[in-house]
Amino acid sequence: MEVNQSHLLSWILFTPLIGAIVLLFIPRAKDNLQRVVGNLFGFLGLIVSLPLLWRFQIGAPGYQFRESYDWIPSIGAHYSLGIDGISFLLVMLTTLLGAISILSSWSAIKNRKKEYYILFLLLQTGMLGVFMSLDFFLFYLFWEVMLVPMYFLIGVWGSDRRLYAAIKFFLYTLAGSVLMLLAILALYYHAHEVAGTAYTFDIPTLLGTVSQFSTNYQRILFWGFFFAFAIKVPMFPFHTWLPDAHTEAPTAGSVILAGVLLKMGTYGFIRFSLPLLPGDAVARQHIVTILMVVSIIGIIYGALVCMMQKDMKKLVAYSSVSHLGFCTLGIFALNPHGLSGSVIQQINHGISTGALFLLIGVLYERRHTRLISEFGGLSTPMPNFAAIYMIATLSSLGLPLLNGFIGEFTILSGVFQVSLRWAAWAVIGIVLGAAYLLWLYQRVMFGPVTNPENEHLADLNMREYATLIPLVLLAFWIGIYPKPLFTVLDAPVRQIVQQVNPGYYNSATAQRWNEKPPVAAAIVAPSNITKDGSAGKAKDKTNDKIEGRVMSAAAAILGAGSPSAPPPQIAATRENEAGNR
């Protein structure tokens, strides 16, 4: 039907909400009917999103499936929806993990089933609205609405310390949201004053006026949005709410928290923070350097803390701090490899970490404990469980032919173009990740059955297979044939890089990142560039100087002083160097 085609995003957005409304009229005593209806609308949410797979026009510029209607004309707020390649992938991830998470709750939720499914479907609508909104007022509404269902999911159906974890999650996220609201209002009013445009909350319009702002105002807006997104990711040192929320949340809550909610922060960085970076090269480079260093700290810190955990769920929770550090590292590399790798790694993290949380939930339903010391030798009574657990583990640590390798390799390729040392520090996180994940698997799965209670544990049932097999198939598909994802991301990533790092494409030797093998960019000090633009004659000296400048900038961030030279600039490619020798 034509109406359905022209309002496809609205159908996807409000299908879970319709399910929540239907559940309101089901009598509380009919538990089975509540489960059926909840799972039905969770599955319908996935079904109605499937037409995006063949209707989305790959390579088309701008946003697709646009819907825009006056909402509050007096303040310039509109009901405005649209998606590009980045939000398209995140919307599909949300609908998939939403359906899987609701299905995983079939036997795990024992009380207040009606309220549980209503809140989960409301949460689904809030998350989808964040990725679809093209109006700041609407975006902020969905951003805040999402907090309430998640607060209750943790606080009512969580574990022993659920209230503490729920309140901590709510307060942390709300604090960042308040700063973001102030930044939105500042952008709203300043755009009218500087550009002379009518008052509007339209996201493309407002972000299009940022280039006319002063450097100081751009810097203020950037940090205002930054704290909201950094808390949501979460970046170090704003991560302390995450392990408690993950550990205390029910299994489905942990899956959707890791798989989707954390991606709202990285999505915000890409959609809003990058366009708000100061136009001044020096100011922009200082901000980027800070965030790259913080990302690397998060990668290594999260991995080291994982090594010390005694609770399986908390270990996987801290691994998210490390893995999302790779995502932010790729974002602020400001090049196509970094950005595309970051988005793909966000999808990968949702798949692999979601699977790990589902598997831990399977064990918790059978044993009601998550302590690593309570298990051992589970591959004997649960061989199929052990096999899928191994695939999820290898996916998470980035084994080739599985999805994690594609994202991490692409991110490191982009970071290497900016700084060899930053890439080298990030690799340490990959090594540590393999250590704590394989060590966890060895303690839980191998060896003799050390606890008599584990000797007769039931293997996976059909419902549990239904939640895990789709994630396993996706892990192999992305790892073996990731081309469709890179193709979808080509146009939006190119548009962002042209805006925030125009020199990347303006270079005479810049090449399309998805058509030819990647060419790493050399970071060259301006004083070493000759009149013809070459830098190859002083390659060794330049590299030494640049590495010193990068480290001095990092030292300034950590309080060891200030850099003695201006920030480096990406001025030529290594291919250009070789040609000019």
CA-CA distances (angstroms) from residue 225 to 218, 268, 271, 495?
Answer: 11, 8, 11, 21
CA pair distance 422, 164, nearest whole angstrom: 37
What parts of the chain have a pLDDT lower than 50? Answer: 1-4, 508-581
| Helix ranges restricted to H, 269-382 | 281-306, 312-331, 336-367
CA pair distance 65, 80, nearest whole angstrom: 10
Give the DSSP per-residue string, 19-86. HHHHHHTS-TT-HHHHHHHHHHHHHHHHHHHTTHHHHS-TT--S-EEEEEEEEEGGGTEEEEEEE-HH
pLDDT at 507: 59
Contact indicator for 537, 522 with CB cutoff of 8 Å: no
Query: SS3 for 333?
Result: coil
Q: Model pTM greater than 0.75?
A: yes
Closest C-alpha to 170, from 157, 156, 154: 154
Q: 504-530: per-residue pLDDT in tens?
A: 776 534 444 443 333 333 333 333 333
